[in-house]
Structure 1
Amino acid sequence: MRTALALLACLTLLLSPAPAPADGPQATYVLRVPAPVGEPAQRLLALGYDVVEQRDGADLFVIGDAHTADRLRADGFQSTVETTRPPSHQAPRSLDDATYYGGYRTVTAHLAHLDDVAAKHPELATVVDYGDSWRKTQGDGGHDLKAVCITRKAPGDCALSPTAPKPRLFVMGQLHAREITTGDLAWRFIDDLVGSELTAMLDTLEVWVVPIANPDGVDIVESGGDTPVLHRKNAQGTCSSGPRGVDLNRNAGSHWGEIGSSPNKCSEVYRGPRADSEVETQALESLWRKLYRDTRAPGDTAAATPDTTGAVISMHSYGNYVLFPWGWSTQKTGNDAALRKMAGDMAALSGFTAGQPGEVLYNAAGATDDWVYDDLGVPSFVWEIGASSGTCGGFLPPFSCQQDVHWPKVRPMLVSAMKAAAKPY
């Protein structure tokens, strides 16, 4: 089966929340583009194409419309049509729905779930409001940005202080809104922490979970109901020829504005007008600074100290990778051996591939995992969850795939991260 066939079953009617053209909904295409690691791959990203975070040998994959192949040709890239998804005319979900697309939970349901877990397990769970989404700051709907701290509570636990007594594992989902697998896995992890043998590990560990890091973007995704909108970015800004918003995983202030990002507002990897410009980025960085000690001196080659504790994991999809800093370069960090070992241990449990982004995919600057390590010295990882082929591959696998395929692979990785958080280096 060819690498991107799963996208035939999971791609949506639109690539952005903008209204369809007057002649009706358009088909979605997945194009296979020869772009080896290095200059060709980086040039493809720099041109602003919607490049899927998946590689098949020398080829990358681009999501587009009927005109994308012509644009690629004009830019010097050959392409072949891998799959075509005809437009759908299914009705969007009702605003009262708690689920969409067969069982995936809405943003409202996720936030209610955090409150419900805290109410049922007050000895374990504390909900923390760490900011507001962009739309909420504008008085245009939006959401609170919420995390849940889960631990066997003792004095000092869940405090917004880097000197808290226990090491901390931080896990977040749906920073890229369309990666709906990750929000569901965060939901499952929360329930597992308060209702299984994992609870015993909370005597000596805090786990922080942000199930939806980009709620405005997820609002756009879920608005399609049974045909979710493939929206990646947040909701800030406008664009007449592509998706609105800023890529929150290109906006962080570690080597911001460099390789693998775009100044084009309509690009899927639009980095924003300046480093840390987005309220969602600012809120996450502020929260991390309150949760973790800074144990790394400035400079790209400085190492964090051996007494560093904790870890941060940002779950994405898809590709079956465990990625670690640096993402802006294939230059090694000062803690490369330890990061490589942690990534390898996690990847081995799931059959994933571990490596720096530039080793296995492409380089990209301004990512949150680079910021966490750069600013604080804390080990940080991106997990790209899900295969590119098969029934459960792609951005939008059937809901049953979460329980049957993805959770059995990701749970052991989460347990590995929990065990490593006390002394990662």
Structure 2
Amino acid sequence: MRSAVLLACLLALVAARPSERPNLHGAQVLRTVPHSPSQVHYLHGLLRQGHYDFWREPRALGQPVDIMAKAWQLPVLKATLDGLHLKYSVMISNVAQLVRETVPRHDGPRAMDWTSYHDYDEINDWLDELAATYPSLCSVEDVGTSYEGRTMKLLTIGTGDASNPGIFIDGGIHAREWIAPATVTYMVNELVTKSDTYADILAAVNFYVMPAINPDGYAYTFTDERLWRKTRSHQDGVICVGVDPNRNWGFHWGEGGTSDSPCSDIYCGPEPFSEVEMRVVRDQITRLGSAVSAYLTFHSYSQLWMYPWGYGYDLPDDWEDLDALAQDAVTALTAVHGTIYEIGSSANTIYVAAGGSDDWAKGVGGVKYSYTVELRDTGSYGFLLPPEQIIPTGEETFEALLVYARFFQNGGT
């Protein structure tokens, strides 16, 4: 009987699916905590099918799962959870209101600040401005073009030799995670505008920065769909748009924690590196080669500081080195505002997810110190973090970045 009810709910959900542009009026985020392997397994099935927007994916027994449902989906989702004997609570009762509060008003181009979120063109213009204003400290290169024709830029910061150890930083691989590009640009601004304070670091360490590496998806979140996650590529004969760019990298591609359904938010794509944007980032890391000593990719949310592997539960041979540096970084981060982060390998900390950028950076790119950072918060706001939290998030994360910089400045390997 229960199986029949769940099947009927899913059929109703598929039949009622709306057009791509959503109406968030009445949308909510529900949190549930699975307590049996069958419940975890079923939630993973829902995730792969792409019927719901999982804000926090199934991890393990006792770990919360956050699912956003639009108003027309809520009765089906609640019935599904009830049928699985999964208790749930309302984490965010009014998604539409939070969207309105976080999306900036656009009355023309805006100067860069960290009291509001900025779109892709504003970030690119600011990168060009930095290079023009501080030519002895930083330079910017056009390194590629997105699927929809947006210029992708690489900012290099440093006053020393090109052979100095380098930290490659990117953000915004998932389009809706606005706090990631905001935090990356905040840290860049600190390094550049306070270069006298960090002169010793900048003479010894180079920083290679791409604040938003999913340009089309990120732009789309400002114009059409605030909670869009994937790229914006189209495939012949496929209705659904885009690929999960953090399942698209060519290392253990298409294995655990991915979907082959183009309508799923964790769709890994038709082949490794099918997404031009990920090829651009890959090519920059490859071009820089041994100059890249660390790779830091910034996401949200959940407050996690993770290292490989994401494709499976095994640990790298040198995991203790990665863990020790992460522990030091998080200690510095927590000292600023008391924010608590969990540390560990990706698969063991959250879930298996193959084809991620940090796995590729370490497994193929040869970057020993490779990390994925899930920024604030733990679910109260999720992907809709209020803009007043940009600066506190930037302040604490910058202190963690300085730990990495000083480690390499002092000859860490």
Q: Is the 8 A contact 1:106 1:222 kept in 2?
A: yes
In the superposition, the TM-score normalised over structure 2's length comes to 0.81
CA deviation after TM superposition for structure 1 residue 313, in Å: 0.3
Residue by residue over 1:143-180, the C-alpha shift from the partner in whole angstroms, topping out at 9 and shown as x without a partner, is 111110001054xx2xxxxxxx1111011111111111
- The aligned counterpart of 2:11 is none
CA drift at 1:134? 0.7
Residue aligned with 1:218, SS: helix
Tell me the equivalent position of 1:236.
Answer: 233
- Paired with 1:80 and 1:96, the residues of 2 have a C-alpha distance of 42
> Per-residue deviation at 1:53?
3.8
Query: Aligned-pair RMSD on alpha carbons?
Result: 3.2
Aligned position for 1:397: 385
- Match of residue 5 from structure 2: none
Distance 1:30 1:98, change over 3 A: same
Whether contact under 8 Å (2:48, 2:261) holds in the other structure is: no
2:113 counterpart of 1:114: no
| Deviation by residue 1:187-212 (Cα, 9 ceiling, x = unmatched) | 11111112221233111111011111
SS of residue in 2 equivalent to 1:387: coil
Shift of 1:73: 5.6
Asked whether 1:50 is paired with 2:59, we answer no
Consecutive unaligned residues of structure 1, counting only runs of 5 or more, are 1-14, 137-142, 158-164, 294-307
Q: Which has the higher contact order (CA 8 A, sep 6+)?
A: 1
| Residue aligned with 1:345, SS | helix
Once the 2 structures are TM-superposed, how far is the Cα of residue 34 of structure 1 from its aligned partner?
2.9
Q: Which residue of 1 aligns with 2:295?
A: 312
**Which residue matches 2:206?**
206
**Paired AA for residue 372 in structure 2:** V
Shift of 1:374: 0.6
Q: Quick check: 2:34–2:62 contact (8 Å CA) kept in 1? A: no
Q: Does 1:132 align with 2:145?
A: yes
Corresponding position: 1:146 with 2:153: yes
Instruction: Indicate the residue corresponding to 1:412 in structure 2.
Output: 399
Is 1:85 the counterpart of 2:91? The answer is: no
- Alpha-carbon spacing, 1:261–1:191, altered in 2? closer, same or farther (3 Å): same
Give the partner amino acid of 1:380.
Answer: S
Which position in structure 1 is the counterpart of 2:29?
30
CA shift, 1:291, in A, is 1.1
Give SS of 1:169's match. strand
Instruction: For 2:377, give the aligned amino acid.
Output: A
What TM-score comes out, normalization by structure 1 length? 0.79
SS at match of 1:104: coil
Contact 1:310/1:424 (<8 A) preserved = no
**Partner in structure 1 of residue 344 of structure 2:** 355
Percent pairwise identity: 25
CA change 1:241–1:388 in 2 (3 A) is farther
Distance in 2 between residues matched to 1:400 and 1:86, nearest whole Å:
18
What is the one-letter code of the residue matched to 2:53?
Answer: D
Shift of residue 218, structure 1, vs aligned partner: 1.0
Equivalent position of 1:221 in the other structure: 221
1:251 is the counterpart of 2:240: no
> Quick check: 1:330 aligned with 2:313?
yes
What letter is aligned with 1:149? T
The 1-side partners of 2:358 and 2:318 are apart by: 14
1:276–1:326: structure 2 CA closer, same or farther, 3 Å change rule? same
- 1:17–1:243 contact (8 Å) kept in structure 2: no
5+ unaligned residues in a row in structure 2: which ranges?
1-16, 335-339
Q: Say how many residue pairs are matched.
A: 373
Give 1:245's aligned amino acid.
G
Q: What is the one-letter code of the residue matched to 2:371? A: F
Q: Structure 1 residue 129: deviation in Å?
A: 1.5
Residue in 1 aligned with 2:358? 369
